[in-house]
A and B are shown apart, each in its own frame.
Chain A
Amino acid sequence: MARSRRRPTCADSGGGRDRGRVLAEVDHGEVFGFLGPNGAGKTTMVRTLGTLLAPTSGAATVAGVPLTSENGVEIRRRIAIMPESPGLYLRLSVAENLACFADLYEVPDPHDRIGRVLRAVDLADRANDACGALSKGLRQRVALARALLSDPQLLFLDEPTAGLDPAAAREVLQLVTALSQRGVTIFLTTHRLEEAERLCDRVAILNTTLRTIGRPAELREQLFATTLTVRTLGALPEPGRVFAGLPAIDSWRQDGPATYVLAVSDQAVAAPAATRALVAAGAEVLSISQSHPSLEEVYLQLIGQDQEAGQG
Chain B
Amino acid sequence: MRVRSRRVRAIVRKELGEYRHNGFIIWTMAIFPLIFLIQPLVVVFALPASASNQLEHGHLLLYMLGIPALVPAAVAADAVVGERQQGTLEPVLTTPIRRQELLLGKALAALVPSVAIAYAVYAVFLACVGLFAQPAVASALLQAPDLLAQLLFTPLLAGWSIWVGIAISTRASDFRVAQQLGILASLPTAVVAALIAFDVIHPTLGLAIALAAALLLGNRLGWRIMSATFDRERLITSTK
Asked whether B87 lies within 8 Å of A85 as measured between CB atoms, the reply is yes
Residues in chain A near residue B97, CB distance under 8 A: 104
CA distance A100 to B106 in the complex (A): 13
Contact A87 B96, beta carbon cutoff 8 Å? no
Most buried by A among B7, B91, B237: B91
Q: When the two chains form their complex, are residues B96 and A73 in contact, meaning their CB atoms are under 8 A apart?
A: yes
The smallest C-beta distance from A57 to any residue of chain B, in angstroms, reads 15
Q: Is the CB of A91 within 8 A of B95?
A: no
Do B94 and A106 have beta carbons less than 8 Å apart? no
In the assembled complex, which residues on chain B have CB atoms less than 8 Å from the CB atom of A143? 91
One of A19-27, A47-55, A304-312 at the interface: A47-55
A18–B142 Cα distance when bound, in Å, is 65
Q: Point out which of B14, B20, B22, B237 has the most chain A C-beta atoms below 10 A from its C-beta.
A: B14
Q: Does A117 contact B (CB under 8 A)?
A: no
Asked if B88 contacts A106 (CB within 8 A), the reply is no
Given the known A-B contacts A89-B86, A90-B86, are A53 and B237 also in contact in the complex, defined by CB atoms under 8 Å? yes
Measured in the bound complex, the distance between the Cα atoms of B11 and A104 in whole Å is 8
A contact residues around B17 at 8 Å (CB): 89, 91-92, 96
Known contacts A53-B233, A53-B237, A106-B4; is-contact A83 B90 (Cβ 8 Å): yes
Rounded to whole angstroms, the CA-CA distance of A54 and B10 in the bound complex is 26
Residues of B within 8 A of A91 (CB): 17-18, 20-22
* Distance between Cα atoms of A69 and B6 in the complex (Å): 23
Known: A76-B95, A77-B96. A87 touches B86 (CB 8 A): yes
> For the complex, what is the distance from the CA of A306 to the CA of B20, rounded to whole Å?
53
Interface check B35, CB cutoff 8 A:
no
* B191 contacts partner chain A, Cβ-Cβ < 8 Å: no
Does B176 interact with chain A (Cβ within 8 Å)? no
Classify chain B: how many residues form its interface, as a range: 20 to 34
Range, interface on chain A: 20 to 34
User: A residues within 8 A CB of B13?
Assistant: 99-100, 103
Instruction: Give every chain A residue within 8 A of B9 (Cβ-Cβ).
Output: 103
**Is B221 an interface residue when CB atoms closer than 8 A count as contact?**
no
Which residues in A have their C-beta under 8 angstroms from that of B38? none
* Contact status A52-B232, CB under 8 Å: yes
Which residues from chain B contact A79 at a C-beta distance below 8 Å?
94
Residue numbers in A under 8 Å from B21 (CB-CB) = 91-92
Could you tell me which residues of chain B, from 156 to 208, have a CB within 8 Å of some CB in chain A? none
Pairwise interchain contact A103-B94, C-beta atoms closer than 8 A:
no
Complex Cα gap A53–B232 (Å) = 8
A105 contacts the other chain (Cβ, under 8 Å)?
yes
> Distance (Å) between the CB of B28 and the closest chain A CB?
16
Which of A68-101 touch B at CB < 8 Å?
A: 73-74, 76-77, 79-81, 83, 85-92, 96, 99-101
Contacts of A100 in B (CB 8 A): 10-11, 13-14
Partner of B95, one of A74, A85, A86, A101: A101
Question: Are A52 and B7 closer than 8 Å at their CB atoms?
Answer: no
A-facing residues in B67-110 (Cβ within 8 Å): 86-98
B236 at the binding interface (Cβ < 8 Å): yes
A3 at the B interface (CB under 8 A): no
CA distance A106 to B7 in the complex (A): 7
Q: What are the residues of chain B within 8 A of A53 when measuring CB–CB?
A: 232-233, 236-237
Asked if A47 and B236 sit within 8 Å, CB to CB, the answer is yes
Q: Taking the complex as formed, is A220 at the interface, i.e. its CB lies under 8 A from any CB of chain B?
A: no
| A contact residues around B10 at 8 Å (CB) | 99-101, 103-104
Please measure, in the bound complex, the distance between the C-alpha atom of A92 and the C-alpha atom of B92, giving whole angstroms. 15
Does B87 contact A103, Cβ atoms closer than 8 Å? no
Show the binding face of B for A, using Cβ within 8 Å: 4, 6-7, 9-11, 13-14, 17-18, 20-22, 86-98, 232-233, 236-237
With A53-B232, A74-B96, A104-B97 already in contact, 5 other A-B pairs whose C-beta atoms are closer than 8 Å: A52-B236, A90-B86, A91-B18, A92-B17, A101-B10
What are 19 A-B contacts defined by CB distance under 8 Å? A53-B236, A54-B233, A74-B96, A76-B94, A76-B95, A77-B96, A81-B91, A85-B90, A88-B88, A89-B14, A89-B88, A91-B22, A96-B17, A101-B95, A103-B9, A104-B97, A105-B96, A106-B6, A146-B91
